[in-house]
Chain A
């Protein structure tokens, strides 16, 4: 949550973010995290903070210039001019979204956007990862409901569909 009462005009900065294909200009304080800006200021509610910003859960994951980052540990000012993807911006027909739904790869769903973003970042980078690579990529994300098997299956099927060019 941005805190307009703790900053003075001379330490505020204007930054530009390209989020899900649209450009946003935001005024931020130097200590604000990307999580605060995206969720509290811009209303991207898919982003969660299961570990309250300790960098331990992965639920705040967004894709920043093609890499998955923990938005709770990323300073917003460092993102000036960068491109960001959140789950709101993913095509609902994207294999990762479709396979998560098909496999019911969630229970409460609180961790799900983080897993989806981490998986998408992996599959954007690597077309045909091994199961081990998928597990490793997703191992920074916690699902307290323990839907791991179904999440893994969803990502495996998404991988296969992408490998076959089936989008």
Chain B
């Protein structure tokens, strides 16, 4: 990179070296797709309050003991020294009567229910992974006292045999990794999410392989990644005046209930006496919010608050590195049959691990059939417990891409074909080609007949210069001695709706000063939720963007989360319906005032006017003040009418587990692609990223900055996992060796490389305006595109992530 002084006018500025945006212009809308000031700008001025920042009068702090062993039981606990420390207010030890639970001998916890995929105990006696909170919790005046006191707790541990490797865990003589479950083996089978689906069969796999001209087999392994979160999952409880006030960091309404429900029971108050506060959250991308472990800080805080009569903040520092491992850890064994023209006839995927709750996302069970023309598919998944934290999705990294991109890239490599051609050839739905079979369905469901994949590929190829740069693997050595490589990856849209079986709501209230507040329960996880929601609502209502705000603490109106993944499809529909209804209300009241019919009026920029005579007008503000009692009741919406698709596809229940015939009516039309150019140094194994083009069919852009942030952010997190991030365990002790931000390998500003963000707008999403959520896709894509680009550079596949220099050197026969 050459040095440049920044004195040129902005437009010619070299900062486009690092970021190029390509977003379509759309004159149809005032606000949709337009850059607007962020509604969460207090994050920049330092006024944004996170759960970690909240301090209540007389607040106490609590911390857990965490297990120093991968698998151990606390046999005997001596807390006599702790009690002598000034400032220690309360101590809870495993077996305390307050922790007894009629439901499980390990004591109080979240239990197992359809919302909670696994047991989690507030203070278990058995730790099943290193770093797990276990056996003792201290409540004290300050965090430092908690820490000091914890050091003085004497525990006699019984070390138990442990297993880290998921293949080892499946062997008949493997030690049982989680004794409290009373299982005879380590296979996960009791959770609701794994109960049904561990297999997916489509067509006839034997026939498919017989039809094939060639068959390849390969294996992909993903190492252990963790959230390396920035704000731990702290929780605050304050039981006072007959009410329980909670500050909960949860992302999901369901997760919230997992915490609120047991907390209310512990506090001894009914749920109508619980108030939930939602501060901002630091880097939440799913993860612990989905599992019982995420609820235990709230339950512990409530218990301590009840026992001490003071507000208590539970500091759950362990959640950043020991809360979960990311879902992708594990192994895929893949066999692909294909014809010499690139048509894939059969795919078999066997996986071990790859998702903590394997049934939810068996490789390909949802993805491969739903978005390819491959007729014969066999997927089987097994997920054994090991002595690591539970595996949960945290910005998805793999499942989305392995079934597509890896397969297509391998087939292309075998045949010497351009991988984009192989992708286009096999694109489709449920074994049917995208064209012409699916065109009719698109029309039927009210979608434009557009080809998302082709549009993404064309845009991406142009941006990276694919046609000039793509070459056979290992064929281009640069004058600097490095290998040049270029790769492609694709995936389908990610979606958390409309087949999500839950219902979601929000409501609005007009205020006396003419402003409007949208209320819903929606955690602020960083996708600038208030900005996007206010854009949609204001656009539809005809109100000024600055007159609208979003209040996220209204527990009674749970909105769709996760918001980045695909929740926007839902929430945009809710906002659209709210906007349309608000406009109707405004026009009805204005009709009386202006002595016209509502049809003769319109509202724009918070002014109602007569269409035929725009001078006949009234400010919405004045209307609300004058007719306040007509407005103040509020308006609710669930967004159903603004989700695209046919009636049949939109109405619940859509869950594909229970209604296979229905879910086939909901299609994945949207596609996403990435193109990457690298240089690989054969002497050091270092990879230099020269240019990344990320192309997302967003359906319709609502907040362009939000889209770019999702694209860029996903790239860095996904690439980190594919390239630099990995938790290393000591095989002898099962203890993590690099569990802090200084050693884990998160990419920093120093690793910045040029990214070209392209938003394709096909309007093929089921959300309002045809949008897709793209929170997951970029991170999924980059894992595969890195492998593909390195293969193109050195001519060798590296099948184990992260792709560190030593693996590259080994592949080159140099290590």
Residues of chain A whose beta carbon lies under 8 Å from any beta carbon of chain B: 1-6, 43-46, 48-52, 54-57, 59, 86-88, 90, 92, 97, 100-113, 116, 128-132, 135-136, 138-153, 156-157, 159-160, 163
Query: Are B230's CB and A110's CB within 8 A?
Result: yes
Which of A87, A143, A163 contacts B46, CB < 8 Å?
A87
Query: Are B38's CB and A148's CB within 8 A?
Result: no
Query: Are A138's CB and B740's CB within 8 A?
Result: no
Which of B52, B143, B528 contacts A104, CB < 8 Å?
B528
Query: Are B706's CB and A104's CB within 8 A?
Result: yes
With A51-B741, A132-B3, A139-B749 given, is the CB distance from A149 to B283 under 8 Å? no
Query: Are B740's CB and A148's CB within 8 A?
Result: no
Give the distance in Å from the alpha carbon of A81 to the alpha carbon of B148 in the complex.
Answer: 31
Give the distance in Å from the alpha carbon of A49 to the alpha carbon of B715 in the complex.
Answer: 24
Query: Are B526's CB and A163's CB within 8 A?
Result: no
Query: Are A5's CB and B752's CB within 8 A?
Result: no
For B4, the chain A residues whose CB sits under 8 A away are 130-131
For A56, the chain B residues whose CB sits under 8 A away are 740-742
With A3-B145, A48-B52 given, is the CB distance from A146 to B712 under 8 Å? yes
Since A110-B280, A135-B750 are in contact, a sample of 9 more A-B pairs with Cβ atoms closer than 8 Å, ordered by chain A residue number, is: A46-B46, A51-B742, A101-B41, A104-B705, A108-B282, A109-B40, A131-B14, A146-B714, A147-B712
Give the distance in Å from the alpha carbon of A77 to the alpha carbon of B579 in the complex.
Answer: 56
Q: Which of B5-13, B335-343, B536-544 contacts A (4 or more CB under 8 A)?
A: B5-13
Query: Are B6's CB and A112's CB within 8 A?
Result: no
Does B183 have its Cβ within 8 Å of any Cβ on chain A?
A: no
Query: Are A59's CB and B85's CB within 8 A?
Result: no
Give the distance in Å from the alpha carbon of A103 to the alpha carbon of B747 in the complex.
Answer: 21
Give the distance in Å from the alpha carbon of A128 to the alpha carbon of B3 in the complex.
Answer: 12
Shortest CB-to-CB span from B673 to chain A, Å, is 19
Query: Are B712's CB and A150's CB within 8 A?
Result: yes
Give the distance in Å from the alpha carbon of A128 to the alpha carbon of B6 in the complex.
Answer: 7
For B46, the chain A residues whose CB sits under 8 A away are 44-46, 86-88, 113, 116
Query: Are B148's CB and A107's CB within 8 A?
Result: no
Query: Are B752's CB and A87's CB within 8 A?
Result: no
Give the distance in Å from the alpha carbon of A116 to the alpha carbon of B47 in the complex.
Answer: 13
For B525, the chain A residues whose CB sits under 8 A away are 108
**In the complex, the 3 A-B pairs of residues with the closest C-beta atoms, listed nearest first:** A109-B43, A46-B46, A146-B716
For residues 500 through 539 of chain B, which have their beta carbon under 8 Å from a beta carbon of chain A? 524-528
Which of A59, A106, A128 contacts B230, CB < 8 Å?
A59
Residue of B with least CB distance to A141: B749
Query: Are A140's CB and B748's CB within 8 A?
Result: yes
Give the distance in Å from the alpha carbon of A149 to the alpha carbon of B712 in the complex.
Answer: 7
Residue of B with least CB distance to A57: B741
For A57, the chain B residues whose CB sits under 8 A away are 230, 741
For B6, the chain A residues whose CB sits under 8 A away are 128-131, 156, 159-160, 163
Query: Are A152's CB and B44's CB within 8 A?
Result: no
Give the distance in Å from the alpha carbon of A97 to the alpha carbon of B231 in the complex.
Answer: 23
Query: Are A149's CB and B19's CB within 8 A?
Result: yes
Give the distance in Å from the alpha carbon of A85 to the alpha carbon of B284 in the complex.
Answer: 29
Does B53 have its Cβ within 8 Å of any Cβ on chain A?
A: yes
Query: Are A104's CB and B5's CB within 8 A?
Result: no
**16 A/B residue pairs, CB under 8 Å, sorted by A:** A1-B142, A3-B142, A4-B141, A6-B148, A44-B46, A48-B52, A50-B741, A88-B47, A90-B45, A108-B283, A109-B280, A150-B19, A152-B749, A156-B13, A160-B13, A163-B6
Residue of B with least CB distance to A132: B3
For A113, the chain B residues whose CB sits under 8 A away are 44, 46
Query: Are A100's CB and B44's CB within 8 A?
Result: yes
Give the distance in Å from the alpha carbon of A3 to the alpha carbon of B17 in the complex.
Answer: 49
Give the distance in Å from the alpha carbon of A139 to the alpha carbon of B706 in the complex.
Answer: 23
Give the distance in Å from the alpha carbon of A4 to the alpha carbon of B40 in the complex.
Answer: 36
Query: Are B19's CB and A108's CB within 8 A?
Result: no
For B524, the chain A residues whose CB sits under 8 A away are 108
For B320, the chain A residues whose CB sits under 8 A away are 52
For residues 38 through 69 of chain B, which have their beta carbon under 8 Å from a beta carbon of chain A? 38, 40-41, 43-50, 52-53, 55, 61
With A56-B740, A110-B231, A160-B7 given, is the CB distance from A148 to B712 under 8 Å? yes
For B48, the chain A residues whose CB sits under 8 A away are 109
Residue of B3, B38, B228, B230 most packed against chain A (CB within 10 A): B230
Residue of A with least CB distance to B232: A52
Give the distance in Å from the alpha carbon of A102 to the alpha carbon of B13 in the complex.
Answer: 16
Query: Are A139's CB and B748's CB within 8 A?
Result: yes
Query: Are B41's CB and A148's CB within 8 A?
Result: no
For B40, the chain A residues whose CB sits under 8 A away are 109
Give the distance in Å from the alpha carbon of A92 to the alpha carbon of B37 in the complex.
Answer: 14
Does B627 have its Cβ within 8 Å of any Cβ on chain A?
A: no
With A5-B141, A147-B713 given, is the CB distance from A153 to B19 under 8 Å? yes
Shortest CB-to-CB span from A32 to chain B, Å, is 9
Does B612 have its Cβ within 8 Å of any Cβ on chain A?
A: no
Query: Are B45's CB and A144's CB within 8 A?
Result: no
With A5-B85, A52-B740, A136-B750 given, is the CB distance from A101 to B755 under 8 Å? no
For A50, the chain B residues whose CB sits under 8 A away are 230-231, 282, 741
For residues 220 through 252 of chain B, which have their beta carbon under 8 Å from a beta carbon of chain A? 228-232
For B38, the chain A residues whose CB sits under 8 A away are 101, 104
Query: Are B746's CB and A92's CB within 8 A?
Result: no
Residue of A with least CB distance to B742: A56
Query: Are B230's CB and A111's CB within 8 A?
Result: yes
Give the distance in Å from the alpha carbon of A151 to the alpha carbon of B44 in the complex.
Answer: 11
Give the distance in Å from the alpha carbon of A136 to the alpha carbon of B317 in the complex.
Answer: 29
Give the distance in Å from the alpha carbon of A103 to the alpha carbon of B44 in the complex.
Answer: 11
Give the distance in Å from the alpha carbon of A110 to the alpha carbon of B281 in the complex.
Answer: 8
